[in-house]
Amino acid sequence: MSETIVISPTSRQEGHAELRMDVDDEGIVTKGRYFSITPVRGLEKMVTGKVPETAPVMVQRICGVCPIPHTLASVEAIDDSLNIEVPKAGRQLRELTLAAHTINSHAIHHFLIAADFVPEDLFATAVKSVSEIRKTVQQVVDTVAGEGIHPSDVRIGGMAQNISEVARKRLYARLKALKPKVDAHVDLIVGLVADKGLPEGLGVHNQPTLATHQTYGDRTKFDLDRFTEIMPESWYEDPEVGKRACSTIPLYDGVNVEVGPRARASVFHGFKGQGVVAQHVARAMEMKINLSKAIDILAELDTSAPVRADFDVRGTGKLGVGAIEGPRGMDVHMATVTPEGKIGYYSALVPTTWNIPTMGPATEGFHHEFGPHVIRAYDPCLSCATHVIVVDDEDRSVLRNEMVRI
């Protein structure tokens, strides 16, 4: 007799979500559904009507794990709306900030999955490795962007200021010294994941991948005409799931897609791996890629060059797009600036929103005990991927089709 296994909330991730798995007599998952149950984001509505500089400051609070991608996606969207061309050095400092943040975020994920893969005799080694890496790359973000968590110096038009030549040389030396530690850390994680002996094919699905850039983001590679967004009630077969789910379902060319480290590895490096093990390998390898990127930027950066463009804040209503490749995948912010110099429209389509409809089906075909492994392989961040719902004041019922566009 089949039954439904429910894990609510799923653990060792940011925010709250539910995994429902229909299983057969052998415990094999025949139907997997994963959905956010984290309530209310609403920041897009809060910034509407405010001056443009308000948006990156507020939307970086969407998430305490991903403030850098949200800040960058926000300024990129407003830059685009105002037709601003960011100076080369300003762009380099933005890319340097994201590269350091990505290494930090991937290291945090390795801490979250340590209980799955790291044996007791290596646990202290793995935790020390994570701490040393995080300490160094967070110093980069702190120096370049103003603050390690909520970056105050990422501004519309570029950056608030260039770094000093002394700071450039110091960060360059520290990142060069970090390279052997990152190499050893990546070898450790990849080796431990391989040693776990997860079933071959676990987490494999047939959905396409989507990525715009290897390390930063490229709005020109995100085609708005190919993008649609539907309500969860139209996606999930179970009406109760559709009503409780707190995020929309984004589609590209009419289908759900995978974003994130494996998608980027597939698009830009021809990576052929699929499934849970491939997710972990691709994420670990991105630490090396981003460290090399950060070192290259610091080697080339002209610390005397301007980093911020002059611009007229009076907009034309053009829809600007910012597409940033955050640690968990493509983070798209869209904004318009009115002729009065205020935010007229704002929307954020965050990485986990893209992956939510893919993660559930990726659990199918294997024992339900492996379901959490599949989910954690994507490093979901549900706090970002949540929207406002509207309920009836009298009976608290959810009003249909009023979930996002209030």
106 is in an annotated binding site: no
What is the pLDDT at residue 40?
Answer: 64
Whether residue 95 is contained in a domain is answered as yes
DSSP 126-186: HHHHHHHHHHHHHHHHHHHHS-SSS-SSEETTEES-PPPHHHHHHHHHHHHHHHHHHHHHH
66 is in an annotated binding site: yes
Q: Are 68 and 151 in contact (CB under 8 A)?
A: yes
Q: How far is CA 252 from the centre of its chain?
A: 17
Q: What is the mean pLDDT of residues 208-215?
A: 97
Token output for 110 = 């390795």
Among residues of the chain, what percentage have pLDDT more than 90? 81
pLDDT band, very low/low/confident/very high, at 398 (cuts 50, 70, 90)? low
246 is in an annotated binding site: no
pLDDT of 253 > 60? The answer is yes
Q: For all residues of the chain together, what is the average pLDDT?
A: 92
Whether residue 389 is contained in a domain is answered as no
Whether residue 396 is contained in a domain is answered as no
Token output for 402 = 């009023």
Among residues of the chain, what percentage have pLDDT more than 70? 94
63 is in an annotated binding site: yes
44 is in an annotated binding site: yes
Whether residue 84 is contained in a domain is answered as yes
- Total domains in the fold of the chain: 1
Task: Domain of residue 79: give its range.
Answer: 3-384
With a threshold of 0.75, does the pTM exceed it? yes
Whether residue 391 is contained in a domain is answered as no
Alpha carbons 81 and 77: distance in angstroms, whole number? 6
SS3 78: helix
Find all residues with CB under 8 Å of 263, minimum gap 6, and list them: 209, 210, 211, 257, 329
* Adjacent-strand bridge partners of 382: none
Alpha carbons 139 and 132: distance in angstroms, whole number? 11
CATH number of the domain that 357 lies in? 1.10.645.10
Whether residue 392 is contained in a domain is answered as no
Q: What is the mean pLDDT of residues 238-253?
A: 90
pLDDT band, very low/low/confident/very high, at 322 (cuts 50, 70, 90)? very high
Whether residue 346 is contained in a domain is answered as yes
pLDDT digits (tens, 9 = 90+) for 90-104: 999 999 999 999 999
Whether residue 402 is contained in a domain is answered as no
